[in-house]
């Protein structure tokens, strides 16, 4: 049996989180069982038009982890793997909901490995109850007056109602 490393392990969980869902929270909670700390890195993607501002997304995520000091919320633009290396993260967490996610994520992981060998890609599947949830689906339902209770944290559900009012 090997001794536990003395350095704290850190993982980066990137995404646009527009908005954060219970599926995201499930992956973050499970990541915390594998790593000492997790940085939830809100990706700035100029090609996307988010519903919520960067500040709103950051605040919604922080509100989910008020009692968890092992989760940090940050923003990232540019190459994620360079950000991870700069933060001395051991891994990038990626969620896989369906087989269709795998091809893209696999290619991304291989490119990241080529760019920065010290950062691993870790793939996690959300719990079965969250496997169908995505931010896009939640926004679509909410935009048509659908009930998203139980799919997002309560404060996020309230923010969605306000946005689509």
The one catalytic residue in 8, 48, 62, 117 is 48
Chain centroid to CA 2: 31
Query: In Å, what is the CA distance from 57 to each residue of 15, 48, 86, 102?
Result: 11, 14, 23, 26
With contact defined as beta carbons under 8 Å apart, do 123 and 97 qualify? no
For this structure, is 97 an active site residue?
yes
- Which helix (H) or strand (E) segment is 156 a member of? helix 154-164
The one catalytic residue in 57, 87, 135, 139 is 135
How many alpha carbons fall within 13 Å on the CB side of residue 110?
Answer: 6
The one catalytic residue in 30, 37, 97, 163 is 97
Determine the 3-state secondary structure of 8 from DSSP.
coil
The one catalytic residue in 24, 87, 90, 94 is 24
CA torsion through residues 131, 135, 138, 144, sign = negative
For this structure, is 24 an active site residue?
yes
For this structure, is 113 an active site residue?
no
Active-site amino acid positions: 24, 48, 97, 135
């Amino acid at each position: 049996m090997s001794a536990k490393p003395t350095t704290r392990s850190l993982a980066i969980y990137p995404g646009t989180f527009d908005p954060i869902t219970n599926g995201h929270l499930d992956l973050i909670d499970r990541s915390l069982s594998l790593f000492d700390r997790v940085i939830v890195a809100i990706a700035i993607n100029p090609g996307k038009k988010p519903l919520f501002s960067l500040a709103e997304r950051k605040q919604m995520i922080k509100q989910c982890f008020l009692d968890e000091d092992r989760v940090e919320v940050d923003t990232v633009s540019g190459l994620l793997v360079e950000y991870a290396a700069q933060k001395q993260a051991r891994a990038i967490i990626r969620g896989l909901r369906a087989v269709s996610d795998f091809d893209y994520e696999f290619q991304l992981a291989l490119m990241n490995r080529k760019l920065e060998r010290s950062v691993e890609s870790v793939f996690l599947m959300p719990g079965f109850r969250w496997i169908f949830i995505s931010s896009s689906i939640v926004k679509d339902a909410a935009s048509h007056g659908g009930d998203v209770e139980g799919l997002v944290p309560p404060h996020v559900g309230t923010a969605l109602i306000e946005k689509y009012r």
